[in-house]
Structure 1
Amino acid sequence: MNQSILFPDLQNWDSQTQTVVFPVQIQGANIECRISLVKLASLSSTTIDAGEQDIASKALVLFDEYRFDIEEEVEALIEQEIFDEQGRVVLL
């Protein structure tokens, strides 16, 4: 793991975009990262209905369960300098 890339234990659910939003610190700079509900479902091999009442809590639990895999994928994208037009790392 690259020591100049840090993942604080902070994440929240964005209901508008159906993504978990979390920061990454790269040499002191904060970069916003997002992982979609579809990607979380794919990682966990589960079906997630976006209309579920407790979708936020389910998404955050899956994020915690697969955090290591998510962080590895984000780190690889950062090293390849793959950012969206707003400078974020987005896993779809």
Structure 2
Amino acid sequence: MNQSILFSDDLTVELEKKCVRFSAQQMGSLINCSVSFSWLEEESGESICHHDKANEVFNQLRFDIEEKAEALIEDEEFNASGEIEIN
């Protein structure tokens, strides 16, 4: 794991956008990241229909999510808003 990318423990579940938002820091820069409910559902095999379930599944898959986000950051796969999206 690249120690220059640090992930915080902040999580925001956005039910209307069907994603969980979290952040990372790389060399002092804040990087907003999100993972879609569909990705979480596919990886976990569980349905996400409410806030608590999204938190639970995110935390179960945290290592995999951070690993995926780290790879996207290193490959500079930012969207038009400068964010990382795992879909």
- Verify same fold: TM over 0.5: yes
Return the letter of the residue paired with 1:29.
S
Identity %: 40
Give 3-state SS (helix, strand or coil) of 1:23's partner: strand
Structure 1, unpaired ranges of 5+: none
TM-score, length-scaled by structure 1: 0.90
**If you compute each CA radius of gyration, which structure gives the higher value, 1 or 2?**
1
2:58 to 30, 42, 63: 63
Shift of 1:45: 1.8
Shift of 1:15: 2.0
TM-score, length-scaled by structure 2: 0.94
Aligned residues: 87
Return the letter of the residue paired with 1:75.
E
The list of structure 1 runs, each at least 4 consecutive aligned residues, that deviate by more than 2 angstroms after superposition, is: none
RMSD: 0.9
Structure 2, unpaired ranges of 5+: none
